[in-house]
Structure 1
Amino acid sequence: MVFNDGDFVLINYTIKVKNGDNYLVQETTYEDVAKQSNIYDANKKYGPYLIVIGKSTLIAAVNEAIKEMQPGEKKEIKADPSKAYGERREELVIRVPIKQLKRYNIPLRIGQQVEIGGRIGIIERIAERFAYIDFNHPLAGKELLIDLEVVKKIEDFNEKVRYLVERWLGIPGNDIEVSGNQNIINIGLPVKAIYINDLDSKLQLLVGDLYQYIKPEEVNLNIKVNTKEIQSEEKAKEGQEAKEQEAKPQEEKVAEENAK
């Protein structure tokens, strides 16, 4: 199968970075691999990742490999910097006054991730008056080994919309109602949507993706709410907060009580 621009494809991947004679897992969509490699993040959703051929930002090595693969196929590929994230550039290490970082309450510690002018960087070193922030991609200059799997091509229109909604809102596809057609898309969201942090911004990103990848004339978003569902969600939230509080070390609990 040759994929065409605009095709919706689910992939799995594991990115490993060369470190001496070995390769260390840096990122993966497989939960078990993340746990085995000690990079598991409980806040991250693991599972197949959605790409749109010709429109998603992929490194050259992955983009070239996918075009030669079939659904269900797995492949291991090597990528030098020219086919990955490029060479590391010293001019992207920027000197920023410490006063400026303090003004925005940015922690002054080596390895701290910061955002300045819409760019993400890492504090590389700290001098008396300046912090040196590296705006290179973390994998710039690195040789990568990538385990790549093409899971499937998504053909169904409703399924395409559900995956885009899940990508931005984190709501499982089974909880999302989709109807309409390519010109008019109707999306029904469950009550849990109103509890999503920064919902407005995420809805804007979702609508942006819908227009970029599907190009409808109209998108209708509807959140179905009833009091019983709200009560259920609030109880679940209170229960989670109680568990988190119980799991805190005793010293943190004492500090919080003293602060009240």
Structure 2
Amino acid sequence: MGGKVEEGSLILLDVSIYDEGTGELVMTTDEEEAERHGRRLSEKGPLLVQVGSDDIFRPVMEALVGMKEGSSGEIVVKPKDAFGEYDEGKREVFTERRLRREGIDPSKREVGDTVELRGRRGVVRSMTGGRVVIDFNHPLAGKTLRVRFRVVRVLSEDAEVVRAVVADAFGVYPDEIEVDLKGEVATVKLCPAAFMRRDSLARKYKALSKIMRLLKSVRKVVFVEEFEIPERSEPQGDLAEP
């Protein structure tokens, strides 16, 4: 067994969440579990969790304290500790004209579609008589959830923390990120899947912000993006040299 989880520990956590009422898998970071349920992975690799923060449901956080690396747990989480109770007041009615003014074309929408309206995300519940009902509750509001989790690793080395934070910010696996930590300088080599993202700069700032908060010993982060130029083939036909 590895390290012990304490308040403030930074850990990598495999998580699978199920609807307690139906048994449906809601999300998972476990490849085998995703395959068993015919679902896609919700995250690439385990979640990066700081124990004691709001990174995951409070009852799970409380259960993690005292666990050891490699150990597992399971807990039922009530709505009040998950995504809240279902609020009928968050079901709102809009005219089709109003939605068009907001940039949403009702003729291209159908029941069940997700829409963005002034920074809020909702689901279309009905469309009748020129009126559209949009539900702004979280999809899991009012649901009791069963959470299974496993402590994959308790991060203790600064280089491990940097790697995990960067991987989490870019949505890639930790082993796709290379970190060389010398003194106060962390050199981070990004994989193409990370640096080719359109919002790569914003993700770098996200990673930097978290590294600065977690590691006082790191004063500088250098991101390396390596491009490999493919070999050029020799000209053919009339373009070839004699």
Query: Which residues in structure 2 correspond to 1:61-80 (within 5 Å)?
Result: 61-80=59-78
C-alpha offsets along residues 154-208 of structure 1, whole Å, 9 cap, x if unaligned? 0010011011111122265354233245x54433335664422321222222222
User: Which has the larger share of helix?
Assistant: 1
Instruction: Give the structure, 1 or 2, with the largest relative contact order (CA under 8 Å, sep 6 or more).
Output: 2
Question: How many Å separate the matches in 2 of 1:188 and 1:13?
Answer: 27
Residue 9 of structure 1 corresponds to which residue in structure 2?
Answer: 11
Residue 124 of structure 1 corresponds to which residue in structure 2?
Answer: 125
The one-letter amino acid paired with 1:3 is E
Match for residue 92 of structure 2 among 76, 90, 94: 94
User: Does 2:193 correspond to 1:195?
Assistant: no
With over 3 angstroms needed to count, the CA separation of the structure-2 counterparts of 1:212 and 1:134, relative to structure 1, is: farther
C-alpha offsets along residues 2-53 of structure 1, whole Å, 9 cap, x if unaligned? 5122x2111112111033xx52211111112112112225xx5443221112
Residue 23 of structure 2 corresponds to which residue in structure 1?
Answer: 23
Cα shift at 1:231: 3.3
Residue 173 of structure 1 corresponds to which residue in structure 2?
Answer: 175
The one-letter amino acid paired with 1:40 is R
When normalised by structure 1's length, the TM-score is 0.74
The one-letter amino acid paired with 2:6 is F
Identity of aligned residues (%): 24
| Helix, strand or coil at the partner of 2:20 | strand
Match for residue 81 of structure 1 among 79, 103, 112: 79
With over 3 angstroms needed to count, the CA separation of the structure-2 counterparts of 1:231 and 1:172, relative to structure 1, is: farther
Contact 2:165/2:210 (<8 A) preserved:
yes
- Where do 5+ consecutive residues of structure 2 fail to align? 232-242
